[in-house]
Structure 1
Protein backbone atom coordinates (compact mmCIF):
# COMPACT_ATOMS: atom_id res chain seq x y z
CA UNK A 1 0.00 0.00 0.00
CA UNK A 2 2.82 2.27 -0.95
CA UNK A 3 0.90 5.18 -2.50
CA UNK A 4 -0.91 5.93 0.77
CA UNK A 5 2.50 6.52 2.31
CA UNK A 6 2.69 9.64 0.17
CA UNK A 7 -0.20 10.99 2.24
CA UNK A 8 1.50 10.35 5.58
CA UNK A 9 4.55 12.64 5.26
CA UNK A 10 2.31 15.36 3.83
CA UNK A 11 0.05 15.02 6.87
CA UNK A 12 -3.12 14.10 5.00
CA UNK A 13 -3.50 10.85 6.93
CA UNK A 14 -2.43 9.66 10.35
CA UNK A 15 -2.04 6.33 12.15
CA UNK A 16 -5.81 5.92 12.38
CA UNK A 17 -5.90 5.22 8.63
CA UNK A 18 -3.40 2.38 9.16
CA UNK A 19 -5.68 0.97 11.82
CA UNK A 20 -8.59 1.06 9.39
CA UNK A 21 -6.39 -0.72 6.83
CA UNK A 22 -5.56 -3.37 9.42
CA UNK A 23 -9.27 -4.22 9.67
CA UNK A 24 -9.33 -5.32 6.04
CA UNK A 25 -8.93 -9.05 5.45
CA UNK A 26 -9.66 -11.73 2.86
CA UNK A 27 -13.31 -11.86 3.92
CA UNK A 28 -13.70 -8.13 3.19
CA UNK A 29 -11.04 -7.25 0.60
CA UNK A 30 -12.59 -3.86 -0.22
CA UNK A 31 -13.28 -2.80 3.36
CA UNK A 32 -11.03 0.26 3.40
CA UNK A 33 -12.28 1.56 0.07
CA UNK A 34 -15.88 1.08 1.21
CA UNK A 35 -15.17 2.99 4.44
CA UNK A 36 -13.56 5.81 2.46
CA UNK A 37 -16.49 5.99 0.02
CA UNK A 38 -18.90 6.32 2.95
CA UNK A 39 -16.63 8.94 4.54
CA UNK A 40 -16.62 11.11 1.40
CA UNK A 41 -20.37 10.76 0.98
CA UNK A 42 -21.01 11.74 4.61
CA UNK A 43 -18.37 14.46 4.75
CA UNK A 44 -19.64 16.00 1.52
CA UNK A 45 -23.14 16.08 2.97
CA UNK A 46 -21.90 17.62 6.23
CA UNK A 47 -19.93 20.30 4.38
CA UNK A 48 -23.00 21.10 2.28
CA UNK A 49 -25.18 21.26 5.41
CA UNK A 50 -22.65 23.57 7.04
CA UNK A 51 -22.59 25.87 4.02
CA UNK A 52 -26.38 26.06 4.13
CA UNK A 53 -26.31 26.79 7.86
CA UNK A 54 -23.79 29.60 7.32
CA UNK A 55 -26.26 31.25 4.92
CA UNK A 56 -29.50 30.42 6.71
CA UNK A 57 -28.31 31.07 10.28
CA UNK A 58 -25.79 33.94 10.14
CA UNK A 59 -23.68 34.23 13.28
CA UNK A 60 -25.20 31.09 14.87
CA UNK A 61 -21.81 29.86 16.01
CA UNK A 62 -23.27 27.13 18.22
CA UNK A 63 -25.11 25.57 15.27
CA UNK A 64 -22.05 25.87 13.03
CA UNK A 65 -19.88 24.33 15.73
CA UNK A 66 -22.27 21.37 16.09
CA UNK A 67 -22.03 20.60 12.36
CA UNK A 68 -18.27 20.89 12.47
CA UNK A 69 -18.04 18.62 15.52
CA UNK A 70 -19.79 15.89 13.50
CA UNK A 71 -17.38 16.35 10.61
CA UNK A 72 -14.37 16.36 12.92
CA UNK A 73 -15.49 13.01 14.33
CA UNK A 74 -15.77 11.54 10.84
CA UNK A 75 -12.32 12.83 9.93
CA UNK A 76 -10.83 11.39 13.11
CA UNK A 77 -12.39 7.99 12.49
CA UNK A 78 -10.54 7.46 9.20
CA UNK A 79 -7.38 9.40 10.03
CA UNK A 80 -7.96 12.44 7.80
CA UNK A 81 -5.60 14.56 9.90
CA UNK A 82 -5.40 17.72 7.77
CA UNK A 83 -9.17 17.85 7.48
CA UNK A 84 -9.48 17.26 11.22
CA UNK A 85 -7.06 20.13 11.86
CA UNK A 86 -9.17 22.47 9.72
CA UNK A 87 -12.27 21.35 11.63
CA UNK A 88 -10.52 22.30 14.86
CA UNK A 89 -9.51 25.65 13.37
CA UNK A 90 -13.12 26.29 12.35
CA UNK A 91 -14.32 25.40 15.85
CA UNK A 92 -11.70 27.75 17.36
CA UNK A 93 -13.04 30.51 15.11
CA UNK A 94 -16.57 29.72 16.30
CA UNK A 95 -15.35 30.12 19.87
CA UNK A 96 -13.89 33.51 18.95
CA UNK A 97 -17.13 34.38 17.13
CA UNK A 98 -15.18 35.16 13.96
CA UNK A 99 -17.32 34.84 10.84
CA UNK A 100 -14.31 35.65 8.65
CA UNK A 101 -12.20 33.04 10.40
CA UNK A 102 -14.94 30.43 10.01
CA UNK A 103 -15.29 31.19 6.31
CA UNK A 104 -11.53 30.95 5.79
CA UNK A 105 -11.34 27.66 7.68
CA UNK A 106 -14.24 26.25 5.68
CA UNK A 107 -12.50 27.11 2.39
CA UNK A 108 -9.30 25.41 3.59
CA UNK A 109 -11.33 22.41 4.74
CA UNK A 110 -13.00 22.10 1.33
CA UNK A 111 -9.59 22.28 -0.34
CA UNK A 112 -8.21 19.56 1.96
CA UNK A 113 -11.32 17.45 1.29
CA UNK A 114 -10.73 17.66 -2.48
CA UNK A 115 -7.00 16.92 -2.16
CA UNK A 116 -7.58 13.91 0.08
CA UNK A 117 -10.28 12.56 -2.23
CA UNK A 118 -7.93 12.81 -5.22
CA UNK A 119 -5.05 11.17 -3.35
CA UNK A 120 -7.17 8.31 -2.04
CA UNK A 121 -8.75 7.74 -5.45
CA UNK A 122 -5.23 7.40 -6.87
CA UNK A 123 -4.28 5.12 -3.98
CA UNK A 124 -7.20 2.74 -4.56
CA UNK A 125 -6.60 2.77 -8.29
CA UNK A 126 -3.00 1.71 -7.65
CA UNK A 127 -4.15 -1.03 -5.27
CA UNK A 128 -6.48 -2.40 -7.93
CA UNK A 129 -3.55 -2.48 -10.38
CA UNK A 130 -1.10 -4.26 -8.06
CA UNK A 131 -3.69 -6.63 -6.62
CA UNK A 132 -3.64 -8.38 -3.23
CA UNK A 133 0.08 -9.24 -3.32
CA UNK A 134 1.06 -5.57 -3.60
CA UNK A 135 -1.36 -4.55 -0.90
CA UNK A 136 0.19 -7.04 1.51
CA UNK A 137 3.62 -5.39 1.25
CA UNK A 138 2.67 -2.09 2.84
CA UNK A 139 5.86 -0.44 4.14
CA UNK A 140 6.08 0.81 7.72
CA UNK A 141 5.39 4.45 8.47
Structure 2
Protein backbone atom coordinates (compact mmCIF):
# COMPACT_ATOMS: atom_id res chain seq x y z
CA UNK A 1 0.00 0.00 0.00
CA UNK A 2 2.83 2.41 0.79
CA UNK A 3 4.27 1.97 -2.70
CA UNK A 4 1.07 3.12 -4.43
CA UNK A 5 1.16 6.50 -2.69
CA UNK A 6 4.85 6.84 -3.48
CA UNK A 7 4.19 6.05 -7.15
CA UNK A 8 1.44 8.68 -7.34
CA UNK A 9 3.71 11.24 -5.69
CA UNK A 10 6.55 10.38 -8.08
CA UNK A 11 4.14 10.94 -10.97
CA UNK A 12 3.18 14.32 -9.44
CA UNK A 13 6.87 15.25 -9.21
CA UNK A 14 7.44 14.24 -12.82
CA UNK A 15 4.41 16.27 -13.99
CA UNK A 16 5.64 19.34 -12.12
CA UNK A 17 9.14 18.98 -13.56
CA UNK A 18 7.69 18.49 -17.05
CA UNK A 19 5.69 21.70 -16.64
CA UNK A 20 8.75 23.64 -15.48
CA UNK A 21 10.80 22.31 -18.39
CA UNK A 22 8.00 23.08 -20.86
CA UNK A 23 7.76 26.64 -19.52
CA UNK A 24 11.53 27.06 -19.83
CA UNK A 25 11.84 27.64 -16.08
CA UNK A 26 14.32 24.77 -15.68
CA UNK A 27 16.80 23.10 -17.99
CA UNK A 28 18.87 19.90 -18.04
CA UNK A 29 21.28 21.28 -15.44
CA UNK A 30 18.60 20.64 -12.80
CA UNK A 31 18.49 16.97 -13.88
CA UNK A 32 22.28 16.76 -13.64
CA UNK A 33 22.05 18.15 -10.13
CA UNK A 34 19.51 15.45 -9.27
CA UNK A 35 21.90 12.77 -10.50
CA UNK A 36 24.38 13.81 -7.82
CA UNK A 37 21.89 12.94 -5.08
CA UNK A 38 22.09 9.46 -3.55
CA UNK A 39 21.54 7.58 -0.28
CA UNK A 40 24.60 9.19 1.29
CA UNK A 41 23.28 12.68 0.52
CA UNK A 42 19.48 12.32 0.23
CA UNK A 43 18.87 16.07 0.53
CA UNK A 44 21.64 17.19 -1.80
CA UNK A 45 19.44 18.95 -4.36
CA UNK A 46 17.23 20.69 -1.82
CA UNK A 47 20.31 21.75 0.16
CA UNK A 48 21.97 23.22 -2.94
CA UNK A 49 18.76 24.96 -4.00
CA UNK A 50 18.23 26.37 -0.49
CA UNK A 51 21.77 27.80 -0.53
CA UNK A 52 20.99 29.26 -3.96
CA UNK A 53 17.82 30.92 -2.64
CA UNK A 54 19.60 32.28 0.43
CA UNK A 55 22.39 33.83 -1.65
CA UNK A 56 20.02 35.02 -4.38
CA UNK A 57 17.88 36.89 -1.89
CA UNK A 58 20.95 38.87 -0.82
CA UNK A 59 21.73 39.69 -4.45
CA UNK A 60 18.12 40.73 -5.12
CA UNK A 61 18.15 43.00 -2.05
CA UNK A 62 21.39 44.58 -3.29
CA UNK A 63 19.94 45.05 -6.78
CA UNK A 64 16.77 46.59 -5.36
CA UNK A 65 18.86 48.96 -3.23
CA UNK A 66 20.96 50.02 -6.20
CA UNK A 67 17.93 50.50 -8.45
CA UNK A 68 16.13 52.63 -5.88
CA UNK A 69 18.96 55.07 -5.27
CA UNK A 70 17.87 58.61 -6.04
CA UNK A 71 20.92 59.35 -8.17
CA UNK A 72 21.33 55.89 -9.58
CA UNK A 73 24.69 55.53 -11.28
CA UNK A 74 26.45 52.36 -10.14
CA UNK A 75 25.67 50.20 -13.15
CA UNK A 76 28.99 48.39 -12.80
CA UNK A 77 28.10 47.14 -9.33
CA UNK A 78 24.67 46.12 -10.61
CA UNK A 79 26.36 44.15 -13.40
CA UNK A 80 28.55 42.32 -10.86
CA UNK A 81 25.48 41.24 -8.86
CA UNK A 82 23.70 40.19 -12.03
CA UNK A 83 26.70 38.13 -13.18
CA UNK A 84 26.69 36.30 -9.84
CA UNK A 85 22.98 35.65 -10.15
CA UNK A 86 23.36 34.44 -13.74
CA UNK A 87 26.07 31.99 -12.71
CA UNK A 88 24.29 30.58 -9.70
CA UNK A 89 20.96 30.37 -11.56
CA UNK A 90 22.61 28.50 -14.41
CA UNK A 91 24.31 26.11 -11.99
CA UNK A 92 20.98 24.89 -10.60
CA UNK A 93 19.23 24.88 -13.98
CA UNK A 94 17.09 28.00 -13.44
CA UNK A 95 17.18 28.80 -17.14
CA UNK A 96 14.45 31.43 -17.36
CA UNK A 97 15.78 33.32 -14.36
CA UNK A 98 19.29 33.35 -15.85
CA UNK A 99 17.88 34.64 -19.16
CA UNK A 100 16.02 37.44 -17.39
CA UNK A 101 19.28 38.39 -15.65
CA UNK A 102 21.01 38.60 -19.04
CA UNK A 103 18.32 41.01 -20.27
CA UNK A 104 18.59 42.98 -17.02
CA UNK A 105 22.36 43.22 -17.46
CA UNK A 106 21.83 44.57 -20.99
CA UNK A 107 19.64 47.35 -19.54
CA UNK A 108 22.32 48.00 -16.94
CA UNK A 109 25.04 48.11 -19.61
CA UNK A 110 22.98 50.78 -21.40
CA UNK A 111 22.74 52.83 -18.18
CA UNK A 112 18.95 52.79 -18.45
CA UNK A 113 17.37 53.19 -14.98
CA UNK A 114 13.77 52.79 -16.23
CA UNK A 115 14.60 49.54 -18.02
CA UNK A 116 16.56 48.36 -14.96
CA UNK A 117 13.56 48.91 -12.67
CA UNK A 118 11.28 47.05 -15.07
CA UNK A 119 13.79 44.21 -15.39
CA UNK A 120 14.09 44.03 -11.61
CA UNK A 121 10.29 43.67 -11.28
CA UNK A 122 10.30 40.84 -13.80
CA UNK A 123 13.28 39.22 -12.10
CA UNK A 124 11.64 39.36 -8.67
CA UNK A 125 8.41 37.92 -10.06
CA UNK A 126 10.26 35.08 -11.78
CA UNK A 127 12.33 34.42 -8.67
CA UNK A 128 9.17 34.05 -6.56
CA UNK A 129 7.64 31.70 -9.14
CA UNK A 130 10.76 29.54 -9.21
CA UNK A 131 11.02 29.48 -5.42
CA UNK A 132 7.35 28.51 -5.00
CA UNK A 133 7.50 25.77 -7.64
CA UNK A 134 10.72 24.24 -6.30
CA UNK A 135 9.35 24.42 -2.77
CA UNK A 136 6.29 22.52 -4.02
CA UNK A 137 8.54 19.99 -5.77
CA UNK A 138 10.59 19.34 -2.62
CA UNK A 139 7.45 18.99 -0.50
CA UNK A 140 6.12 16.33 -2.88
CA UNK A 141 9.52 14.63 -2.86
CA UNK A 142 9.54 14.57 0.93
CA UNK A 143 6.03 13.08 0.97
CA UNK A 144 7.12 10.47 -1.61
CA UNK A 145 10.09 9.42 0.51
CA UNK A 146 7.86 9.09 3.56
CA UNK A 147 5.21 7.16 1.61
CA UNK A 148 7.83 4.78 0.29
CA UNK A 149 9.01 4.13 3.82
CA UNK A 150 12.58 4.91 2.87
CA UNK A 151 14.90 5.35 5.80
CA UNK A 152 18.20 7.11 5.30
CA UNK A 153 21.13 6.56 7.63
CA UNK A 154 21.53 9.17 10.33
CA UNK A 155 24.57 11.33 9.73
CA UNK A 156 26.79 11.69 12.77
TM-score normalised over the length of structure 2: 0.80
Radius of gyration: which is bigger?
Answer: 2
CA distances 1:108-130 after superposition (whole Å, capped 9, x unpaired): 00000000011001101111111
Count the aligned residue pairs.
Answer: 134
Give the 3-state SS of the residue equivalent to 1:41 in structure 2: helix
Instruction: State whether structure 2 residue 131 is matched by structure 1 residue 114.
Output: no
Give the 3-state SS of the residue equivalent to 2:68 in structure 1: helix
Instruction: Determine if contact 1:4/1:120 at 8 Å carries over to the other structure.
Output: no
Runs of 4+ in 1 over 4 A off after TM superposition: none
Paired residues for 1:36-55 under 5 Å: 36-55=49-68
Tell me what 2:47 maps to.
34
Structure 2 runs not aligned, ≥5 long: 1-12, 149-156
Instruction: State whether structure 2 residue 48 is matched by structure 1 residue 20.
Output: no
Structure 1 runs not aligned, ≥5 long: 135-141
Alpha-carbon distance in structure 1 between the residues aligned to 2:19 and 2:90: 19
